[in-house]
Structure 1
Amino acid sequence: MLGVALLLVESHMNFLASTLFAFASSLGYSLVMVIFAGLRERLALAPVPRLFAGPPIGFIVASLLAMAFMGFSGISTG
C-alpha cells in the first residue's frame, strides 16, 4: 500500500482520480489475495513432494502468479 501512496504523490493526480486509483488498487490486491488463498488450499490437498512442501511451493506459486499478471502490463499501451 505504500507503493500506491508513492505513485499517487509522483503522478500529481487530482482528488477524484487518486481516490479511484487507490480503490482500484485495493480491489486488485484483494483479488490476488483471494486467488492465492484458493491456490494454497488446493496445495494443502495436493501430493506435493516433501522437499517442496510449505514455503517453497508457496514461492513457486507466487512467482507463477506474478508472471501471469505481468501479461496485463502491456494491455494499456496498445
Structure 2
Amino acid sequence: MKNYVIIGHLWLRAIEFINEEKADTYITKNCNAETECGKYTQEEFYAEFQEFYLESHEYGVNEYGALRLIIIREP
C-alpha cells in the first residue's frame, strides 16, 4: 500500500495516510506542477530516507486521513 506522500523539493516532507485512497485524494487536491509529490510504500520510504533525519509530528483527526507529518532533513 502506497500511503506515504513525499512533498516538495526545497524542503522535503512526507505525510503518512491511513490508506492509499486517502493519499491519492490528497495528491489530486494538492499536488501539481508547482508542488511536486510522490507516493511510497512504508518500505520504500524508509529505504529511500534511512540516512536522513526524520522529525515526526502526529496529526489529530482530520479530513484527509493523515496520520502524521514527517519533516525530512539532510543528515
TM over 0.5: no
TM-score (norm 2): 0.26
Higher strand share: 2
TM-score (norm 1): 0.25
Highest Rg: 1 or 2? 1
